[in-house]
Structure 1
Amino acid sequence: MWCDVAAESYDRFMGRYAGPLADRFLDLARVRPGQRVLDVGCGPGTLTTRLVDRLGAAAVAAVDPSPPFLEAVRERCPGVVAREAAAEDLPFADGSFDVALASLVVHFMADPVAGLREMGRVVGTGGLIGASVWDHASETGPLATFWSTVRELDPGATTEAGLAGVAEGALAELCDDAGLRVVDVDRLTVTVGYESFAQWWEPFTLGVGPAGARVQALSADHREALRGTLERRLGTGAFEVRASAWTVLARP
């Protein structure tokens, strides 16, 4: 399962984008000292570490279904309560937190509506829920060039454009379905630089996410055809990728 990859592999692949996005996400949610915050689908701790920096470890809890990711969180964020759990079944009592955040995870939940509803339960009345997902449905997601090239070579390929919440307005609709009251919708954009095509391509071979799984499933010939087409499109020198994520704040 791709979510059981090493934390370092995630860091090299999506962590380059998830880090700067997490900073903007926390600013949008106005996370501040004195609050108790739950990081839902924490992965290897990209958002968790930033929460600890702002609030202290005692005010932060994190959940994820991946044991390797949780091991990384416990190592990187000593003192944080980190439990193995799915978003749809959070192991906390009603109203345990002031804020529950899900950064880049709603589109991978087995049941996004149930997951968001659980987030509402654990913050309770007056609490805040925040969620962000990459805009994979347009050409502004971080993997847009990769997936458009995949479809060019294989028109029948399944991409991430059909995942839950990734299209404009879709994340807010999921919150509505979960019985949450949306209070803000934004589109956060980050820019990530690469020194070369090789630096950009190598993380795709690590098996992280649907894109990494796609690359690993290809035959050697098809993988080289994809790599070669992408290199011709992007060039061999330095370049930047601008990546946008839909972000919603809501209350129970």
Structure 2
Amino acid sequence: MKEQRFDVWAAGDAYERYMGRWSRLVAEEFVAWLDCGDGLRWLDVGCGTAALTATVAERCRPRTVVGLDGSAAFVATARASAPAPACFVVADGMALPVRDAGCDVAVSGLVLNFLPAPGAAVAEASRVVGPGGLVASYVWDYAGGMALLRHFWEAASAVDPAAAAVDEGRRFPMCRPEPLRALWTEAGLVDVTVAPIEVATVFSGFADLWEPFTAGQGPAPGYVAGLTEPTRDRLRDRLRDTVPTRPDGSIALTARAWAIQGRKPGRSRT
């Protein structure tokens, strides 16, 4: 039986509340880890609501920074919020509208595992950076370190055994250090480094945690949208009973992403 997918990317504001706000925290650490100089030409592949693009624009003094995404709705949200000099294009991350060696740094945040051929996507990113250029990305540690999703899918599997088949921890085995390293190495990149980035994900209350799951943006919310109302209610109640809640009603979790970077062989001209 073909695996059913629930990956929906059509409402930037809803995605921002669901996952974009946490991606922004990772982006801050990720950009600091890259430690790039000023005046570089950046490309953000699968920019979403501009969590990473905006961080580059604010912190790296780029010569240019272009974010591209296949979702016109996400690009519209990004355009409305990101600071100059960021600009945005609706485009396919598997066929970048950039000439060979047209940028210095190609990055992506939380998108690599959603592309149809991740290895080809990394090779395409390598094509567009010049000699010595950097290709880097971060992805959630779906299988173990992304506590929000681990609590969600454990609750979902308890009320609906079929949920196990679409658990991101099962769907995306690439989101671990060694498979990521292999992708970069197979693309011909050198000096490959993988590192964990962990951020706090604190929710003001259960509604702050649960309501983004009902907005339909991303795999877990897409799964929720397909449930009958009674099953959705059982999932909500199970999740509320199992997440660790503080006396004031807030919920403090952590999220781990894996970050990876590697360079295109050759001497940089920048």
Q: TM-score, normalised by structure 2?
A: 0.87
Matched, 1:50 2:58: no
Secondary structure of the 1:191 match is: strand
Per the TM alignment, residue 120 of structure 1 is displaced from its structure 2 partner at its CA by 0.6
Per the TM alignment, residue 4 of structure 1 is displaced from its structure 2 partner at its CA by 3.2
Equivalent AA in structure 2 for residue 250 of structure 1: G
Secondary structure of the 1:34 match is: coil
Distance 1:118 1:150, change over 3 A: same
Distance 2:62 2:186 in 1: 33
What is the 5 A alignment of 1:144-223?
144-157=150-163, 158-161=166-169, 162-163=171-172, 165-223=174-232
Q: Is the 8 A contact 2:38 2:63 kept in 1?
A: no
Distance 1:62 1:106, change over 3 A: same
Tell me which of 9, 19, 24 is aligned to 2:29: 24
Moved more, 78-87 or 18-27: 78-87
Tell me which of 87, 91, 102 is aligned to 2:108: 102
Per the TM alignment, residue 57 of structure 1 is displaced from its structure 2 partner at its CA by 7.0
Aligned length: 252
Secondary structure of the 2:161 match is: coil
Distance 1:95 1:3, change over 3 A: farther
Per the TM alignment, residue 164 of structure 1 is displaced from its structure 2 partner at its CA by 5.2
Equivalent AA in structure 2 for residue 240 of structure 1: A
Distance 1:31 1:57, change over 3 A: closer
Moved more, 70-79 or 202-211: 70-79
Equivalent AA in structure 1 for residue 238 of structure 2: T
Per the TM alignment, residue 46 of structure 1 is displaced from its structure 2 partner at its CA by 1.0
Moved more, 221-230 or 182-191: 182-191
Per the TM alignment, residue 74 of structure 1 is displaced from its structure 2 partner at its CA by 2.0
Percent identity reads: 34
Matched, 1:243 2:255: yes
Secondary structure of the 1:143 match is: helix
What is the 5 A alignment of 1:78-97?
79-97=85-103
**Could you report, residue by residue, the CA deviation over 1:148-174 in whole angstroms, capped at 9, with x for unpaired residues?**
211222333221112252134221122
Distance 2:49 2:260 in 1: 22
Per the TM alignment, residue 25 of structure 1 is displaced from its structure 2 partner at its CA by 0.6
Moved more, 2-11 or 118-127: 2-11
Q: Is the 8 A contact 1:107 1:164 kept in 2?
A: no
Distance 1:98 1:88, change over 3 A: same
Distance 1:192 1:141 in 2: 9
Matched, 1:67 2:72: yes
Stretches of structure 2 lacking an aligned partner (at least 5 in a row): 1-5, 265-270
Moved more, 125-134 or 137-146: 137-146
Q: Is the 8 A contact 1:141 1:245 kept in 2?
A: no
Superposed CA RMSD in Å reads 1.8
Per the TM alignment, residue 85 of structure 1 is displaced from its structure 2 partner at its CA by 1.4
Per the TM alignment, residue 18 of structure 1 is displaced from its structure 2 partner at its CA by 0.4
**Could you report, residue by residue, the CA deviation over 1:116-169 in whole angstroms, capped at 9, with x for unpaired residues?**
111111112100011111001225454111012112223332211122521342
Moved more, 16-25 or 159-168: 159-168
Moved more, 232-241 or 126-135: 232-241
**Could you report, residue by residue, the CA deviation over 1:27-52 in whole angstroms, capped at 9, with x for unpaired residues?**
11113321111111000111111111
Could you say which residue in structure 1 is the equivalent of 2:40?
35
Equivalent AA in structure 1 for residue 258 of structure 2: W
What is the 5 A alignment of 1:129-140?
129-140=135-146
